[in-house]
Amino acid sequence: MRDGAVSGTRIGAAGHRIRRLWRAFVAQVEARPRTAVAVTFLIAAIPIAFLGSYVAQHGVDVPYMDDWEIAPVIAKAHTGELTFSDFFTQEEEARMIVPKLIFVASTWKGHWDVRAQMMLSVAICVVTAVGIYVLLRRSGLGVFASAICFWLAVLLIFSPAQFELWLFASGFPSFLPVLLIVAALLLFETSLPAWVKFIGAAALSLLSSFTLAHGLLAWGLTFPVYLVGRLVRRWQWWAGAWCAAAAVCAVAYLYGYSKPAHLPEFAPVILARDYAQFFLTFLGGSFAFASRDHRVALATAVGAVVLTMFLAALVYALVRRRDDSLLRRSLPWFALGFYSLGSGTLATLGRVGFGIEYATSSRYVTFSLYLIVAVIGLAAVLGSDALRRTRSGFWRVLLPTAVAALLLIGAQLFAESYGRSMRILDSAWARNRLARTAVLFSPVIDTSGVVKRINYPAAEVALARAALLDRLGLLRQPLVKTREISELSHARADGEVASGRCDSLAPLNEEQVRASGWAALRAKGRPADAVVLAYETAGQPPVIFAISDEATRRRDIARKLRSPKQLWTGWTATFPRAAVPAGASISAWGVDADGPVLYRLRQDGPELKL
């Protein structure tokens, strides 16, 4: 008994020393704010630089999906036929005036390189993250607490879980509304007069509205937040003027609106349980890909936990509503949280018809992650207030313990999601390189099957628009105009600049043949963009007749070349027997689409013939 008491005393003393050392450490950090802020941003720059460099290195200069819808607007801008209706025309459910202006401006003096819009997505997120740090400091948090919250927010904002958008030019509009909302929230922290804040918030809300459908939420999450958090003279007049401005914007937005036919019914008659699960799955989508086989269940659980925490914070804030300072400091985080909740509500009503699993779509993470960011900010602001007010030792132990447990679970889920999302990004990189090559060679061989499968469902539309952009000189890389390899830059794969081989050539059935192998651009440290097949008859140069239709993983080649970036060096190509003249020999050529330059792959054994 005595030994137990002594042991408990020692543990208590050790705990007291740890707490004292921790307080001393935090005090030292707070005493050097400039150094602490510099270190905070240096650490935050690590995930930002990693994601930014990945996008810069793996972005492929080929329009993808919605990008092809922008092509006619860009073409008209260069032929002098552009009108306001081209900007105002409905795209899906959105009036994308702002994104279209950005697309046109980016091509005004040169080619259309979609990688610029990919990097714009990164830049928008950088500015948003900086804005969130300023909001943290304006919320009354110390340097140390702000740093912790900021690092967590940066990890979420620059997570590869948004893999559908990072390598997608038309992804940048999804990042804009929250930046505009954050900008408005920061505007309210200035000493500018109310009328300036009104005009600024209205302008930012207007830009948000004509960026993306979810952008309309800005009207409810900007100036109303200012009115709630501050004593504004004649606030009824300001509220009425704001409602009038929002109504005018809504009328303009909905003018001539029609629901796209391919989308499911809005708010269909289904079980309330399905609505709830879709909504919660949407909110927890940031961690959905932490699970391989149970994405929906995991996302639903995460969404339920985060929503519960947000609602608990809301209840606490309502209880403490007479504390004007606390209310003002917490309102920006409630605004960010309601942005995610509003986005989730719209997505649920409009997309639940696609099924629950659709809620785990990577593109939704961009909207849902700010609920988690909001909970982080609220936990810091309201949690510190709660700890300061309570004298209960139970709550003083329980709250930090619960936060630590959630952080540990979140870190595990984040790590799992990060790894799987990066692998998906790598596969998207391989597909995009193949799509670029398919578009490049589309004038001389039939590549519509590849384009339809991995780039745009209406392949004939995409290829016609590619031809239009090519005629106007808007493609950075002109389309190929010949099938004869002798008229293109070509060489043998020497094992240094390029390497690879055709492993097999075998019939699939009576009409089709499949070739397969691997191809790597050694000098560039990446796989070949694609492989083209050529036939050669006696006395005639090789003539291209087919392109690879799939990129595959080759772990053996990645190990052989000692480079994980060479994982997607595998290729397959399926073609009809009738495409090759009788008696012709077949050769495989790795493609570097930047030239383009073709490298003849090694062939083991006898000459390849059908």
3-state secondary structure of 310: helix
pLDDT category of residue 582 using cuts at 50, 70 and 90? confident
Q: How many CA atoms lie within 13 A of 276 on its CB side?
A: 6
Cα gap 65→462, rounded to integer Å: 9
Q: What is the pTM of this model?
A: 0.90
Residue type, 335: A
Give me the DSSP letters along 51-73.
HHHHHHHH--SS--TTHHHHHHH
Lookup: tokens for 600? 């003849």
Whether 373 shows a pLDDT value over 70: the answer reads: yes
Encoded tokens for 367:
């909207």
pLDDT of residue 1: 47
Contact 245, 203 (CB under 8 A): no
Q: What sign for the dihedral angle of Cα 278, 281, 286, 289?
A: negative
Tell me the pLDDT band of 30, cut-offs 50, 70 and 90: low
**What confidence score (pLDDT) does residue 201 get?**
95
Percentage of the chain lying above the pLDDT 90 cut: 62
Closest CA to 470 of 33, 78, 98: 78
Residues with Cβ within 8 Å of residue 143, at least 6 apart in sequence: 29, 30, 33, 36, 37, 40
Q: For the residues 571-599, what does the mean pLDDT come to?
A: 90
- 115-138 and 143-157 are packed helices; what angle lies between their axes, rounded to 10 degrees? 150
187: confidence class by pLDDT, cuts 50, 70, 90: very high
pLDDT tens figures, 65-98: 989 999 999 999 888 888 888 888 888 788 899 9
Residue 301, pLDDT score: 94
Instruction: Say which amino acid occupies 157.
Output: I
CA 259 vs. chain centroid, Å, equals 25
What is the reported pLDDT for 17? 61
Report the distance separating Cα 363 and Cα 163, nearest Å: 8
**Long-range contacts of residues 350-357, Cβ cutoff 8 Å, at least 24 apart:** 350/93, 350/263, 350/264, 350/266, 351/263, 351/264, 351/278, 352/264, 352/268, 352/270, 352/274, 352/275, 352/278, 353/264, 353/265, 353/268, 354/264, 356/274, 356/277, 356/278, 356/281, 356/296, 357/295, 357/296
Q: What is the pLDDT of residue 246?
A: 94
